[in-house]
Amino acid sequence: GAVVSQHPSWVICKSGTSVKIECRSLDFQATTMFWYRQFPKQSLMLMATSNEGSKATYEQGVEKDKFLINHASLTLSTLTVTSAHPEDSSFYICSARDRAMGEQYFGPGTRLTVT
């Protein structure tokens, strides 16, 4: 089946620094990618939707200047958490929609811890 990878799988950073998370569709092209965050024992919360070659659409309450999303190619989207703070510590999950089939696949997630 289709595979979506994320890198890194976990990262620890200091408060005030920026962290970039990559999301790749390995064997299909994705016109649309989604970024979610998930706190312990809670559901996934959609942060933003990105379409290849255009600006991301952010959900209400998500700061676009803090969570920078770039979807430069049909197989890669990146999420950069700028000036991270401890409250940004969370599990970040991306998903990609197959351009041809419309199916949606999820990455394994990235655990971010800000100290």
Partner 1 sequence: LAKTTQPISMDSYEGQEVNITCSHNNIATNDYITWYQQFPSQGPRFIIQGYKTKVTNEVASLFIPADRKSSTLSLPRVSLSDTAVYYCLVGDRGFGGGFKTIFGAGTRLFVKA
Q: Quote the least distance from Cβ 93 to partner 1, whole Å.
A: 5
Q: Quote the least distance from Cβ 80 to partner 1, whole Å.
A: 20
33, 71 Cβ separation under 8 angstroms: yes
User: With respect to partner 1, which residue has the nearer C-beta, 89 or 91?
Assistant: 91
Half-sphere exposure of 77 (CA within 13 A, CB side): 33
User: With respect to partner 1, which residue has the nearer C-beta, 19 or 58?
Assistant: 58
Q: Quote the least distance from Cβ 108 to partner 1, whole Å.
A: 5
User: With respect to partner 1, which residue has the nearer C-beta, 28 or 34?
Assistant: 34
Q: Quote the least distance from Cβ 44 to partner 1, whole Å.
A: 4
CA nearest neighbour of 97 among 59, 58, 64, 51:
51
Where on the chain is the footprint of partner 1 (CB under 8 A)?
4, 6, 31-32, 34, 36, 43-46, 49, 51, 91, 93, 95, 97, 99, 101-109, 111
Instruction: Identify the DSSP state of 83.
Output: S
CA-to-CA distance for 69 and 33, rounded, in angstroms?
10
- Kindly report the backbone phi and psi dihedral angles of residue 52, in degrees, each rounded to the nearest multiple of 5, phi listed first: -55, 125
